[in-house]
Amino acid sequence: MTTSSNIGSPVKVSVETFYVEGQSQPELEKYVFAYSVTIKNHSLCSAKLLSRYWLITDANGKEVVVEGEGVVGEMPDIGPGESYKYTSGAILDTPVGTMQGHYTLRNEFGSEFQAPINVFRLACPNILH
């Protein structure tokens, strides 16, 4: 599944999700998902990714907030017209859940702004019709 956000920010975020069956243990209520994020800078100046904020919600309504510096140990500078892509993961107690959030970035003039990450679904294959 792929989703993207493109409202109100010069930086657009798209996400593709994958169920990681080999690392999941449904009998122990452990469902592992990977997600690949592409961050595209549509502005005319560079943007440095400073931090991330994620709200992860499982099918039981359990919410987990994850926030911190950069992504996957990096704080990339994304030039005008350039993209940055990374892959990370999440573990849920249910076979379906959602993620949403935002990145905080700073342009080359020192102004900080947020790039929204629209809600996207994490789901085991064939669990939803």
Structural domain harbouring 87: 9-121
pLDDT tens-place string over residues 69-127: 999 999 999 999 999 999 999 999 999 999 999 999 999 999 999 999 999 999 999 87
pLDDT tens-place string over residues 25-52: 999 999 999 999 999 999 999 999 999 9
- 2 found inside a domain: no
Tokens representing 108 are 């080359």
- 54 found inside a domain: yes
- 77 found inside a domain: yes
Full-model pTM: 0.89
Domain count, the chain: 1
Q: Is 102 helix (H, G, I), strand (E, B) or coil?
A: strand
Q: CA end-to-end span of the chain, whole Å?
A: 13
Gap between the Cα atoms of 88 and 86, Å rounded: 7
Q: What is the CATH number of the domain that holds 90?
A: 2.60.40.1470
- 55 found inside a domain: yes
- 46 found inside a domain: yes
